Amino acid sequence: MKKFVCLFILLAACSTQNKKETKEPVTAQKIMGVYTGVTPCADCEGIYTKIEFIDSITFIKSSKYLGKSSRAFFDMGQWSIENDSVLVTTAHGKQQHYLHENSGLIILSQDGKRIKGELANYYRLNKGEPEGKKDRSNEIKAGIDFIARGNEPYWNLEIDFNGTLRFTTLESDSIVSKTPSPVLDGNTTQLQVIEGEKQLSVKFSPVGCINNMSGAYSDYAVEINFNNGELESGCGEFINPAYQLSGTWQLVSLNGEVANVEDYAKELPELNFEAFNKKVSGYSGCNRLTGNYKADETGLLNFLPLATTRMMCMGKNKEGAFLSALNDVSGYKFESDHLLLLKGDEVVAEFASK
């Protein structure tokens, strides 16, 4: 009996040892997918980081600096697995190490070690996204252009800029009013509503926002003040694509070729869309441009005749090709945070938010 007990203990010990020794290595199939998280930032509220391992070789990473801008900064390159559980990504000649742990990724220091200190727990990316893209087709059909929500206390805001603004809370307080004309202050949009004895002020800016309950990311940080109470904050987004054009976009590629500043007299071309009044202005590489456009939620986009300044542009300059491409545009779509201008089904110009 004693021998059996001793043998059982020995076998159990060996079994435990074998389990440790035969730890299943991480495979590319396990890694592939999307990882997200908010990582520390020295001069912003945090960096919303999203990295996707597209296949066994390629990754794409986007970073958005919360409190500053909703613009995404992209890195794309190759990745590999080292020492069973350490991932190495390489982009623009620079490497970043990650440790695969509990289905997530731990961001390691440049020398491949765990980061220590008070913020150590924030150097982690979780697999998946807190909330996937919701189907907003019913809201769009109802004419809603912008939605926002706050927590603690809960409130909900829906805006049809050509119709009705609806604001509700859990206390059954609400405002249903004709949407006032938005007032633009830099990149901040403001609305002031007075309905009888009720008052509501709304401000939203494209500086990025994280839902403090779900962890989901939205492009707009929203502040509301209801009946001169406390200032409440939340997150919002344009759900009507025609309003997602709002803001400044810088050229990334033209007619399938990567845009280089050397190809223009001064700087890369830019377009600034004012979605509320359908005006566009910008820079064509040498001259300023201004005019109007037509766009809708189905993806239709046409530039009306654009006026430009007439400065002499010396040296190499693709300004003419850029303006010609704008003249041919018949539609638009968004892809991976980039704006694509279309001629039929063909992409003639690609822009990144600035």
pLDDT of residue 133: 67
> Can you tell me the mean pLDDT for 84-102?
89
Pairing of strands 183-185, 174-178: unpaired
- Beta bridge partner(s), residue 351: 251, 339
H/E segment holding residue 275: none
Domain 137-239 is in which class? Answer: mainly beta
Alpha helices of 96-205 — where are they, by DSSP H?
A: 137-141
Show the DSSP H helices in 68-149 as ranges.
Answer: 137-141
Fold annotation for 243-353: Lipocalin (2.40.128)
pLDDT at 86: 86
15 has a pLDDT exceeding 50: no
Using the predicted structure, report yes or no on whether residue 6 has a pLDDT greater than 70.
no
- Mean pLDDT (whole number) for 237-246: 94
Segment 268-323, tens digit of pLDDT: 999 999 999 999 999 999 999 999 999 999 999 999 999 999 888 776 689 999 99
Which pLDDT score is estimated for 11?
30
- Residue 7, pLDDT > 70, answer no
Please indicate whether residue 27 or residue 238 has the higher confidence score (pLDDT): 238
- State the average pLDDT for the chain: 88
Q: Cα–Cα distance between 243 and 239 in angstroms, integer?
A: 8
pLDDT surpasses 50 at 228: yes
What is the tens place of the pLDDT at every residue in 48-79?
999 999 998 999 999 999 999 888 888 889 99
More confident residue, 4 or 269: 269
Contact 348, 328 (CB under 8 A): yes
- For 223, residues 6+ apart whose C-beta sits below 8 A from its C-beta are 202, 203, 204, 231, 232, 233
For residue 4, give both structure tokens: 């059996």
pLDDT value of position 23:
55
Per-residue confidence band for 354, with pLDDT thresholds at 50, 70 and 90: confident
- What pLDDT does 8 receive? 29
Q: Which fold has domain 28-127?
A: Lipocalin (2.40.128)
Same fold, 28-127 and 137-239: yes
What digits encode the pLDDT tens for the residues 309-348? Answer: 988 877 668 999 999 999 999 999 999 789 999 999 999 9
Q: Mean pLDDT throughout 137-155?
A: 93
Beta strands 146-150 and 270-274, pairing class: unpaired
Q: Is residue 223 pLDDT above 90, yes or no?
A: yes
Spell out the domain ranges in the chain: 28-127, 137-239, 243-353
Q: At 75, which amino acid appears?
A: D
Distance CA(33)–CA(98), nearest Å, equals 15
pTM score = 0.81
* Cα gap 185→330, rounded to integer Å: 30
pLDDT at 18: 42
